[in-house]
Structure 1
């Protein structure tokens, strides 16, 4: 790893969140490659949980990008962070603002919003799969290829684990919204995958969409249909 600047977050008063976030951003901008939470915590003398807390807000405000490193062995791949070029950083996009507004409305207006989101995603997934009515059902391998293409098109940067039963969604274009309404956004995408497999007739089932607390990525567990 290249040499990075080491601003001292400890020079700020305890609890000074703005100073800590500024130090994180300065360190990321000076780094020659993306950094992990552990590397940032060591560089700044901060607790790793504090680093995660501040990174989540930097990501939400479009100042830092988050992605998963390529898997190097068993277990969850590391998350790495990069500062966004200050000349290209923008406010949340229109689609993110719209998604946020709709998610908040669903939560307020409906008694079981997460189930509504799941069914809405399922219906959308079915409509997104174009298939000849006379075609035979898709096989397991075709079903996996379908999920990969579907989630890549949606901007999730999917990658299968070696066991072919875990699909890592390494980026989330709805991250700022899902941080606020995970029961809506993540259930919708779970339904999307299930609906696509239903429409293709693939003998696979997405049993869960595991989203750990921010800023961790999503993990879809895919198993043979029972």
Structure 2
């Protein structure tokens, strides 16, 4: 499927690394931000930040209005604030990793044992991929005794690099704000969410974080799996897909 003019304009606006960094920062805040916040984050002047922000608005990626940032009350004129538009374009914003899913499914087909259901083969491969990743991470950092807190911190660092956009929802809960396999997860939630859970469970096992669990916990605007540490957890069961839509 070809790109329409709107998508091409959007991609052109994000071809600039600085604008991409600014957009990524704003999107991750999940609240309106001022140009001063953006300028301080990326290390440029407020005037230059305003120029690039207006370009992102013109491209349809951001919307601007006047109001104080969330939680801040000030007297006087309200500053101009920016936030992402509700409709995200489908060109790697947020980050998608379809090649990971394709690799898992391809290996599952090639290694499927006699009598092994295709779904079970895919879950096996996903778990193994995660376990290999976790073991490599453990070897790299050599954490010694890996407690729940350290396990969540290492997981957050690794999963952020894979596009999951982790955030601490609570001291013992790591919530994943982005599903790298969306919108496929919405079309086949039982399969894709199951693969996500298997991959993350394997990663935690390879990492040696046995007190942290990958739990199916679908909710709107997030990945269907979250990581919970230091508690007994039960899977919530397969998602029905409604919570996988962004």
User: TM-score, length-normalised on structure 1?
Assistant: 0.48
Higher-RCO chain (CA-CA 8 Å, sequence separation at least 6):
1
TM-score (norm. length: structure 2): 0.45
